[in-house]
Amino acid sequence: MDDSDIKRLGEILITAEEEEWLNTPDEHDQTETSTHQSYVTILKEGDIRSRMKEEIQRVSNTYSISEDDATLLLAHFRWDDIELHKKWSDNAKSVRESVGIFELERPLDLPSDDKNFCCGICFKLLSLERSASVSCGHRVCKFCWRSHINKSINKIADVDWYGTLKCPYDICRASVGGDMIEKFACEEDKTKYYRYLFRSYVEGSKVIKCCPAKGRSCDVHLTPGSGNFDVLCLCLLSFCWNCSKDVHSPMDCESAAKWLRMNSSDYQDPNWVRQNTVPCPRCNLRIRENQDCSLKMRCFPPCNYDFCWRCRGQWTEHGLDLYTCTHDEVSYEETVFGNMAEYAAGRYKDCHEKWMSNESLMQKAKAKLQQLHTDVIPDLSNKQLATVHQLEFVAEAWSQIMECRRVLKWTYAYEYYLGEDQVEKQDFLKLKQDNAEIPLEKLHYHAENQLNMLLDSDGPSENFNKFRSDLTDSTRITRNHYELLLRDLEDGLSNVVGASTSQRAHNEDDASGSSSIHDD
């Protein structure tokens, strides 16, 4: 395979402008991740805590309040400082009281003398120095504070953790801040408290999410307005910003979730398909029965046709009752669609097999990428007298291979959901899938075979510089090609008409010398 294999793609799939894009050096090398991750920043937990502390300090300075009170305010407003500022500007006193931060001229239970007080929880008479109170002024002994804080922290079960940390008095709404936690909580409870605080900050943020990997130690910051939702974490887990599931572009979250549910069902069995799905009367996509057993069905976009599961009639003729149909039930045997279940199952099986094949290859690339950092790159560094940093281009190549396999995997789910009347788009997509393998195979050849030759050498090789140049160029070309593929798919293959017409004309010159299942 040579460069002509790549160049010939322009004859049938890309315009001159797009061809220039494929071969133009990009600026993605300056970002922390590849193209579809170029607008995110991977942050360690310490980085997130620093940002949280800065936000607390900013609110504290703005409203001239303590950092503990600022923390309570921010947590109450889900760390939405804009909403906090709006409410505070309208009525600061009302905001304080709703959060449980009171301003009293004198404590509610002022002791009768300067030395003793009666604890309002255990009712023991103790020295005043053994007491403490929050903004309400209720005096409670240190022992009761420790017990109360321990019980409160250990029954926290959701993000509204601040709502459970109140004054020990039953009728009091005063909140307990971090200063009291520092004074009276044990180390284990302090750790839990600050963990809940950290979690509330991350979950309340619109631009920060936790990496969903088990045992994760990273969080992700999304640049507002980037329009980018694919994330590759430092742990090599790629996930969707919107749904926190595995990256599924070019499919939207809802469609991807339906595809994955199909993969765990019996969609390859024609009998199961016939018994559990019905065809859309408008586009023939087969749709699975609603989980809530209602009769109203909605077809997959862009069709979006609403119809009745029982009679296949348009839903607007059925009124508002979701569970009753007065029309005659349509039997599968009485329609032309009943005989198409076998074909539908076969089409799903074909797409699913290709999906699984690319999934397997993606996992192999991921394993290779992990091996690179632990074994291969250090070994290559010793033999070629290059630093580990200078060999990052090898890891970038394998990261791109992994991403390409992921994209190809999802193109087969995308293909499955194309309606049977979209023949041109189906043919065009298959052509793009076949052509997408060309630069990927060349990249894999450089990243695998040529790398092994260098690893088998006894010392520095004169071919190292050529290997670096070839692999870097191949990575760039492949990345740009797959960006173009994703862009076309996310645009709904809108350029299919011109491309298909051109290809048919090309085939004619050379010659002179469907049904689907949908899980709703």
Please check whether residues 219 and 113 belong to one and the same domain.
yes
pLDDT score of 507 more than 90: no
Residue 287's DSSP bridge partners are 278, 518
**Of 287, 307, 332, which one is at a domain's C-terminal end?**
332
Residue 75's DSSP bridge partners are none
Q: Tell me which DSSP letter residue 286 carries.
A: E
In this prediction, residue 492 carries a pLDDT of 87
* Contact between residue 270 and residue 276 where contact means Cβ atoms under 8 Å apart: no
**Of 303, 332, 361, which one is at a domain's C-terminal end?**
332
Confidence of residue 19 (pLDDT cuts 50, 70, 90): very low
Mean pLDDT of 312-339: 61
**Of 276, 302, 332, which one is at a domain's C-terminal end?**
332
The Cα–Cα gap between 8 and 14 comes to 10
Residue 307's DSSP bridge partners are 297, 314
The Cα–Cα gap between 333 and 27 comes to 59
Residue 369 sits at φ, ψ, to 5 deg, of: -65, -40
Please check whether residues 301 and 323 belong to one and the same domain.
yes
pTM over 0.85: no
pLDDT score of 12 more than 70: no
Q: Nearest Cα to 206, choosing from 105, 20, 81, 34?
A: 81
Looking at the structure of the chain, the number of domains it has is 3
Please check whether residues 182 and 166 belong to one and the same domain.
yes
Please check whether residues 327 and 344 belong to one and the same domain.
no
* Contact between residue 413 and residue 433 where contact means Cβ atoms under 8 Å apart: no
The two structure tokens encoding residue 89: 């500007």
Model pLDDT for residues 409-434, shown as the tens digit of each residue: 999 999 988 877 788 888 999 999 99
Please check whether residues 257 and 138 belong to one and the same domain.
no
Please check whether residues 205 and 65 belong to one and the same domain.
yes
Residue 19 lies in a domain: no
* Contact between residue 397 and residue 471 where contact means Cβ atoms under 8 Å apart: yes
Query: Residue 58 sits in a domain of what CATH number?
Result: 3.30.40.10
Model pLDDT for residues 364-387, shown as the tens digit of each residue: 999 999 899 888 998 888 888 788
Residue 159 lies in a domain: yes
Q: Which helix (H) or strand (E) holds 452?
A: helix 451-456
* Contact between residue 432 and residue 13 where contact means Cβ atoms under 8 Å apart: yes
Residue 308 lies in a domain: yes
Residue range of the domain that includes 299: 253-332
Please check whether residues 183 and 319 belong to one and the same domain.
no
Model pLDDT for residues 63-112, shown as the tens digit of each residue: 999 999 999 999 999 899 999 999 999 999 999 999 999 876 555 455 55
In this prediction, residue 46 carries a pLDDT of 84
Residue 9 lies in a domain: no
Please check whether residues 320 and 386 belong to one and the same domain.
no
Please check whether residues 392 and 372 belong to one and the same domain.
yes
Residue 22 lies in a domain: no
Please check whether residues 317 and 346 belong to one and the same domain.
no
Please check whether residues 183 and 280 belong to one and the same domain.
no
DSSP 42-93: EEEHHHHHHHHHHHHHHHHHHHT--HHHHHHHHHHTTT-HHHHHHHHHH-HH
The two structure tokens encoding residue 367: 């394993």
Within a 13 Å sphere around the CA of 406, how many CA atoms are in the beta-carbon half?
27
Residue 120 lies in a domain: yes
Is pLDDT larger for residue 192 or for residue 291?
192
Query: Residue 467 sits in a domain of what CATH number?
Result: 1.20.1420
The two structure tokens encoding residue 314: 């348009």
The Cα–Cα gap between 496 and 488 comes to 9
The Cα–Cα gap between 478 and 401 comes to 9
Residue 5 lies in a domain: no
Please check whether residues 306 and 258 belong to one and the same domain.
yes
Residue 176 lies in a domain: yes
Model pLDDT for residues 334-356, shown as the tens digit of each residue: 444 444 556 666 777 888 889 99
Average model confidence (pLDDT) for the chain? 77
- What pairing do the DSSP bridges indicate for beta strands 285-288 and 306-308? unpaired
The two structure tokens encoding residue 9: 């793609």
